[in-house]
Amino acid sequence: MILVETMAQAGGAGLRKTGVLGGNALFFLGTIEKAKFRRQVRPGEEARMEIDNLRVSPRMIRQAGKLYVGDELAAEAEWMCLVQDGSV
């Protein structure tokens, strides 16, 4: 589960970094689908993530991601996050 949360956080950070999400936008993990865990990720291992934006709107983000350790796929999933203006 923490691997999917990590991918979702990285996906949101990427959208914020590119300016797609405003600097004060908050996002909350809403759903997780098609999650598959292929191998355990152990402490000290370096993970690499590939995140694809499936749909981005002012109120919702839908993304898919894969997490690799070396060249080996460790986890993959699709998720949806709700977006809220953090200035309220």
User: What's the rounded Cα separation, in Å, for the pair 44 and 51?
Assistant: 22
Two tokens at 46? 């370096």
Residue 19 banded pLDDT, cuts 50, 70, 90: confident
Give the predicted TM-score (pTM) of the model.
0.85
- Structural domain count, the chain: 1
What confidence score (pLDDT) does residue 63 get? 97
* CA 7 to chain centroid: 3
User: How do residues 48-85 score in pLDDT, each as one tens digit?
Assistant: 999 999 999 888 999 999 999 999 999 999 999 998 87
88 has pLDDT over 60: no
- What residue type is 38 in one-letter code? R
- The CATH number covering residue 51 comes to 3.10.129.10
Q: Which residue segment(s) compose the domain that 77 sits in?
A: 2-85
